[in-house]
Amino acid sequence: MTTLETRQTEFVNNDKKPVGYGRMLRKEDPRLIRGQGNFVDDVQLPGMLHMAILRSPVAHAKITSIDTSAAAALPGVVAVVTGADLAAQGLAWMPTLSNDVQAVLATDKVRFQGQEVAFAVAESRYIARDAIELIDVDYEILAPVIDSRRALDADAPVIRDDLKDKTNNHCFDWETGDAAATQAVFDRADVVVKQEIVYPRVHPAPMETCGAVAKVDPVDGQLTLWCTSQAPHAHRTVYALVAGLPEHKIRIIAPDIGGGFGNKVPIYPGYVCAIVAALVTGKPVKWMEDRSENLVSTGFARDYIMQGEIAATKEGKILAVRTHVLADHGAFNGTAAPIKYPAGFFGVFTGSYDLEAAYCSMTAVYTNKAPGGVAYACSFRITEAVYLVERMVDCLAYELMMDPAELRLKNFIKPEQFPYTTKTGWVYDSGEYERAMRLSMKIAGYDELRKEQVEKRARGELMGIGVAFFTEAVGAGPRKDMDILGLGMADGCELRVHPTGKAVVRLSVKSQGQGHETTFAQIVSEELGIPPQDIMVLEGDTDNTPFGLGTYGSRSTPVSGAAAALVSRKVRDKAQIIASGMLEVSVADLEWEKGSFHVKGDASKSVTIQEIAFKAYGAGDLPEGIEGGLEAQICYNPSNLTYPFGAYICVVDIDPGTAQVKVRRFIAVDDCGTRINEMIIEGQVHGGLTDGIGMALMEMIAFDEDGNCLSSSLMDYLIPTALECPDWETGSTVTPSPHHPIGAKGIGESATVGSPPAIVNAVVDALKPFGIRHADMPLTPSRVWETMQGRHVPSV
């Protein structure tokens, strides 16, 4: 055992050492707090070269010529590659995760600022950067399409002329729900409220940017790609399909990942370029994008303009919700979404309410902006859906002059209505919404806050209380309905218990900070009674883990967590048969107590899982028909999604002189079903709440009319710091998922989904004295100030 492992065991072996679920310190921390993590940029190989990418400075232009001679002549430069070079190999275009295509390097024209045009490979990072400065590209500037509202104008320039017979910028249409039934309900409703709601383009901006190290074995052609990937197995298959590389000769290693939030789901041109660079040079090649490249070219999120409508009785019974969405998908449809769900799971826009009807139509368009769409902890567009419905409910409360918490309580789906089929066809598995709402109100001291607000308003102070309630649909998904590029969304898991009772569990998912090494050890531990310290969790290496679609959409615990529990039970079943032989009783006469089997009625006759493991590999016969060894594998196909929910309350104060919004308190009550590690759950919630502050108050990827990205550095794209965040207040209820083997529902994105409407609702509530019913994000001081002056501030 190495010194480091010894220390880790000692440290984790503290006074709180659960066998199974409970608060436990993380197994990944001992290396990370010593600076001994292994991130992609930490990978150094002998003879490794460095790659840098030249990107388009303009949003829309024809490439008339590229001269690479000066770059190629620079000492230290090994190769310079353009789109034409790739085209000669049939590699200039690649499929996106939405069955569109995307240019690896531009050949005909550039379609967004920051698009990949050429790359240089050199002996050092610095020389590679010098080299791309020397590449001379001539552009013939074309008019760009920046405003998605103008994308379908008859005179709009056609962005995707690479697609056969494409004469406009239409990307796709999609609808869900019953238009006629919804119209009928709207026709007879007492109250109809309409509101345009914009969810601006934002960016996940993980602290570690995207990158890769590619190595090709010159003898057998084996490709190893260390890569910032949340979905290494899916990536491997896509590379095999695209580049014609044999899949068994591709090994993807996603080492420690410095945050993902969906940003590391897609396959980016840079990864493909790194592979090409390694093939061309015969040397390992590293590519790490810089922060600007990350912000201008990789997967953005949101960018929905939503026309919201809500219908209700005058007493406040919500009858129907309807929306038309204009979706900006950028220059290529790079959304990672199941084929049947081009708008992700936006269909859950009916929220947590018992409605009579609902309908959504959507038009998606191409613009001269970066591709992406599903990212930033959005749970496949549920952030947009929840934001829409929670803003609309508040708009209704405003019109009815009702308390927003009371209005929600009046309309929740009731516990006895579960499983509840929504008007758009989603089957919510379980929920106790009122309980969560009441707990949140209790922690907040809701009534006292409203009293305080009345007093403050009387003094001219601007205090707002925002309420939001969300239901998520996570854990995609049943493979009959859900896939990524035709790959079913089921996930494998393998478990081996070694002779001495220590275990290794191998997973298809990939942590980007969520603590899988701890959580999954605890799941196996709960099922087998082996201490979590004795269980190693392996993931992120396609050669050493079973196939599965990876970590996004809060799917790790709902899908792979189920797989880990079920594979453990499979091992336990085998262990029971071996135990029956050891104790010389029938299998039916054995009882399981966490970690051991004993004879029913005689606890003194027992064998531990460790003893059984040794027997499984040991000398002597096993019961008839039982193979040696104690291991199992499964592939888990979820029967349904899981539906976490939560009740959030936000309290803000706005400085009337500067319009600065201060989040004073934030109360988050989450129900993610069975809770595996309280500490990790709380951390996941805190992180998502901070995303909410970012999106609601400061983050936006903005463009000027020429398509220049105005948010290309962290000086312009503002992310919350410790000063903008309150000391989060969290609470929980537990409504286990009835169909999930351990009742867990997933928590990774709940707070990112639920917090933006709570914060915006609070700001709008604070601005009520100005007669404000809605204001679009981000609610920066200047935008709030303009809103207070009664001026409309469009956010895109």
For another protein, which stretch binds (CB under 8 A), given 391-399, 425-433, 539-547, 713-721?
Answer: 713-721
Residues 6+ apart with CB under 8 A from 165: none
Q: Which of 122, 728, 749, 774 binds another protein (CB under 8 A)?
A: 728
655 binds another protein (CB under 8 A): no
Q: In whole angstroms, how close is the CB of 76 to another protein at the nearest point?
A: 11
From residue 252 to residue 281, what is the string marking binding to another protein with x (rule CB under 8 A)? Answer: ----xxxx-x--------------------
Nearer to another protein, 309 or 699 (CB): 699
* Cβ–Cβ under 8 Å, residues 349 and 385: yes
125 binds another protein (CB under 8 A): yes
22 binds another protein (CB under 8 A): no
Nearer to another protein, 299 or 501 (CB): 299
Q: In whole angstroms, how close is the CB of 532 to another protein at the nearest point?
A: 15
Among 115, 714, 736, CA closest to 372? 115
Dist. CA 377–CA 262, nearest whole Å: 6
Helix (H) or strand (E) holding 631: strand 631-636
Nearer to another protein, 329 or 510 (CB): 510
Nearer to another protein, 261 or 643 (CB): 261
Q: Which of 9, 18, 22, 25 binds another protein (CB under 8 A)?
A: 25
- Size of the residue set binding another protein (CB under 8 A): 56
Dist. CA 511–CA 503, nearest whole Å: 19
- CA end-to-end span of the chain, whole Å? 57
133 binds another protein (CB under 8 A): no
Q: Is 569 helix (H, G, I), strand (E, B) or coil?
A: helix
Q: In whole angstroms, how close is the CB of 291 to another protein at the nearest point?
A: 4
DSSP-assigned states of every residue in 516-559: HHHHHHHHHHHHH---GGGEEEE-SBTTTS-----S-TT-IIII
719 binds another protein (CB under 8 A): yes
Dist. CA 235–CA 210, nearest whole Å: 14
HSE-CB for 270 with a 13 A CA cutoff = 29
Bridge partners (DSSP) of residue 476 are none
Nearer to another protein, 12 or 142 (CB): 12
Q: What is the 3-state secondary structure (H, E, C) of 396-464?
A: HHHHHCCCHHHHHHHHECCHHHCCEECCCCCEECCCCHHHHHHHHHHHHCHHHHHHHHHHHHHCCCEEE
Residues 6+ apart with CB under 8 A from 764: 394, 464, 466, 772, 773, 774, 775
For another protein, which stretch binds (CB under 8 A), given 163-171, 498-506, 599-607, 723-731?
Answer: 723-731
Structure tokens at 666: 């934030």
587 binds another protein (CB under 8 A): no
CA triple 666-672-674, angle to 5 deg:
130
Nearer to another protein, 292 or 640 (CB): 292
Q: In whole angstroms, how close is the CB of 69 to another protein at the nearest point?
A: 24
Rg (CA), the chain: 27
Q: Between residue 667 and residue 686, which ones bind another protein under the rule CB under 8 A?
A: 679-680, 682-683, 686
Q: Which of 184, 725, 772, 793 binds another protein (CB under 8 A)?
A: 725
Q: 683 burial class (0-12, 13-18, 19+ CB within 10 angstroms)? A: middle
Q: Which of 715, 771, 790, 791 binds another protein (CB under 8 A)?
A: 715
Dist. CA 527–CA 522, nearest whole Å: 9
Nearer to another protein, 29 or 354 (CB): 29
Nearer to another protein, 112 or 728 (CB): 728
Q: In whole angstroms, how close is the CB of 619 to another protein at the nearest point?
A: 41
Dist. CA 110–CA 95, nearest whole Å: 17
84 binds another protein (CB under 8 A): no
Q: Which of 59, 524, 689, 766 binds another protein (CB under 8 A)?
A: 689
For another protein, which stretch binds (CB under 8 A), given 92-100, 118-126, 243-251, 550-558?
Answer: 118-126
209 binds another protein (CB under 8 A): yes
749 binds another protein (CB under 8 A): no
Dist. CA 792–CA 795, nearest whole Å: 10
* Cβ–Cβ under 8 Å, residues 701 and 294: no
Map tokens 């709960």 to a residue. Answer: 526
513 binds another protein (CB under 8 A): yes
Exposure string for 428-441, b = 16+ CB within 10 A, e = fewer: bbbbbbbbbbbbbb
Q: Which of 19, 21, 40, 41 binds another protein (CB under 8 A)?
A: 41
723 binds another protein (CB under 8 A): yes
Nearer to another protein, 208 or 611 (CB): 208
Residues that bind another protein (CB under 8 A): 11, 25-26, 28-30, 32-37, 39, 41-42, 44, 124-126, 204-209, 256-259, 261, 290-292, 512-515, 679-680, 682-683, 686-690, 713-715, 719, 721-723, 725, 727-728
